Amino acid sequence: MSEPVPLPEGFEVGHWSDPEGGTGCTVVLPPPGARGGVCVHGGGPGTRETDVLRPLSNAPEANAVLITGGSAFGLAAADGVTRWLEQHERGYSTPYGRVPLVPAAVIYDLPSGSGSARPDADAGYAACEAAQPGVPERGAVGAGTGATVGKILGRERARQGGVGYAALLTGTGWTVAAIAVVNAAGDVIAEDGSVLAGPVGEEGEELRGAELIAAMEQPPEFRVPEGNSTPVCVCTDAPLDKRGCSIVARAATAGLGRAVDPVFTPVDGDVVFCLASGGGEPEQFAPFQVGAAAATVTAAAIRDAVRQAA
């Protein structure tokens, strides 16, 4: 299998992992001045500072995106990312200094190792220190360390999730990449529509979660899976403004629909971020083309996560 297209120039991804605790965090560092957008589709999100990415908010940029384990406790890791950015003079310029803007999203991985093991500020700082350009490390690392998928029949029959990555070059020469942390209640679906990672039956057979739910006769049969989510960060060097980034983030959610089933459930905190570093005036064609590409690489990154973790 050929090596994926690397991250756009100036982007870096870093992980901090705690394999014993079954948790970790992942940070995406864009070049200075990158714009950001977000789309929150899941019914159970855990987030921080996503409102700064809304098209009507004042700040024009995002200085990092954090995806972390530890559920809401793990949002403390954003404090370490903020500290690292301040030390490196990155942030939104104000009259009294630069204020780093760090939108973040969590996954619920507390049952995977120790429920008291959670990424903290030092973990977020360490992820920044570890950030590298190129093709990010994938699999059961960073925020994907304790991730699982296919939890319709309970965690004991689930499969390992993780961090996945995919990227492509558009005909206009823009790079569109996606980093996905896959911790879905639903199954991961392969390119041909088969189940790539879903609940395991009593005989070890692969089952399809959506079909199991549809066939249930009594609601008590259904065990609501504990917190889940598939946060994704799309990175591009296309010339997108904040509105364009939000359009791309929304378009990228189609990739979740292609690769996760069921998706956007009441117990999934699915979130897509988009960071864009391209200079010059925004082009009308850019959100259209980059959005279509973002859906493609998002689906591919989700599939890559479970393949790498396996």
Domain limits of the chain? 12-309
Whether 56 has a pLDDT exceeding 90, the answer reads no
* C-alpha span between 147 and 246 (Å, rounded): 26
* C-alpha span between 94 and 71 (Å, rounded): 31
pLDDT at residue 44, rounded to an integer: 86
**How crowded is the C-beta side of 185, counted as CA atoms within 13 Å?**
24
- Grouping H, G, I as helix, E, B as strand and the rest as coil, residue 121 is helix
Distant-in-sequence, close-in-space partners of 217: CB < 8 Å, separation ≥ 6: none
Percentages helix, strand, coil for the chain (3-state, rounded to 5) are 30, 25, 45
Which residue has 């890559």 as its token pair? 304
Range 291-303 average pLDDT: 98
Length of the chain: 310
pLDDT at residue 42, rounded to an integer: 80
Which residue has 């890791």 as its token pair? 77
Contact assessment for residue 175 and residue 167, using Cβ atoms and an 8 Å cutoff = yes
Q: In 3D, which of 131, 216, 141, 220 has the Cα closest to residue 181?
A: 141
Question: pTM here?
Answer: 0.95
pLDDT at residue 153, rounded to an integer: 86
Token couple for 19: 């394999």
Range 170-178 average pLDDT: 97
Whether 221 has a pLDDT exceeding 80, the answer reads no
* C-alpha span between 112 and 160 (Å, rounded): 10
Range 2-14 average pLDDT: 94
Range 114-129 average pLDDT: 95
* C-alpha span between 75 and 302 (Å, rounded): 22
pLDDT at residue 108, rounded to an integer: 95
CATH code reported for the domain at 12-309: 3.60.70.12
Average per-residue pLDDT in the chain?
Answer: 93
pLDDT at residue 156, rounded to an integer: 84
Whether 24 has a pLDDT exceeding 80, the answer reads yes
* C-alpha span between 233 and 275 (Å, rounded): 7
Range 203-217 average pLDDT: 85
